[in-house]
Amino acid sequence: MQALGRQILVEFYDCDHDILKDEEYITKAMVEACIKGQATVMTHTFHSFSPYGVSGVVVIAESHVAIHTWPEYGYAAVDIFTCGETIEPWILFNHLKEAFKSQKASQMELKRGLFETEAGAKLLHKPEGM
C-alpha cells in the first residue's frame, strides 16, 4: 500500500496564552513553518474570535496546515496535511511547537489516500494525462 499524503494531527498544550490570542503572530508562525518545510504557500486566511481564540489555514500546493486555538487553556489544535514526497511534515511540527512555546504535545500521524500498486510501481501525486 502506498499513500498520497501524510497527515499529522497535533495537540499543543501549555502554550503561551498571549501568543495563542495573537492572530498576526500565529499567521507569521504558520507561514514560516511552511516555508521552512519547503512547502509552496498558495494563500492563507485567519480569523480572531471574541473574546479570544484564532482559527486559520495556510493552503499549500501540497495540501494544508490548519489551526484552532483556545488561549484560555493554553491549547492549540493543528492539522498538518502534506501530499507527495517533497515535504517533511515534522519540520513544520517542530517549528510550531517552538513558536507557540508549547511545553507538551501529543501527535498522531496518518497515511491518507491508501492505494494498492503493482509491485515496485510508485503512486504518483499528480499523474500525467488525467
Q: What is the pLDDT of residues 57-66, one digit of tens each?
A: 999 999 999 9
68 as an active site residue: the answer is yes
89: confidence class by pLDDT, cuts 50, 70, 90: very high
CATH code (residue 23): 3.60.90.10
Sign of CA dihedral 120, 85, 57, 13: positive
Q: In this predicted structure, what is the pLDDT of residue 123?
A: 74
64 as an active site residue: the answer is no
State the catalytic residue, choosing from 15, 34, 63, 95. Answer: 63
Parallel, antiparallel, or unpaired: how do β-strands 2-13 and 41-48 relate? unpaired
128: confidence class by pLDDT, cuts 50, 70, 90: low
Interatomic CA distance for residues 15 and 109, integer angstroms: 21
Please compute the mean of the pLDDT values over residues 102-127 and round it to a whole number.
85
State the catalytic residue, choosing from 15, 34, 83, 102. Answer: 83
47 as an active site residue: the answer is no
Domain annotation covers residue 129: no
Domain annotation covers residue 68: yes
**Number of independent structural domains in the chain:** 1
Main-chain dihedrals φ then ψ at residue 15, nearest 5 degrees: -85, 165
Give the tens place of pLDDT for each residue, 39-50. 999 999 999 999
Q: Has residue 100 got a pLDDT over 60?
A: yes
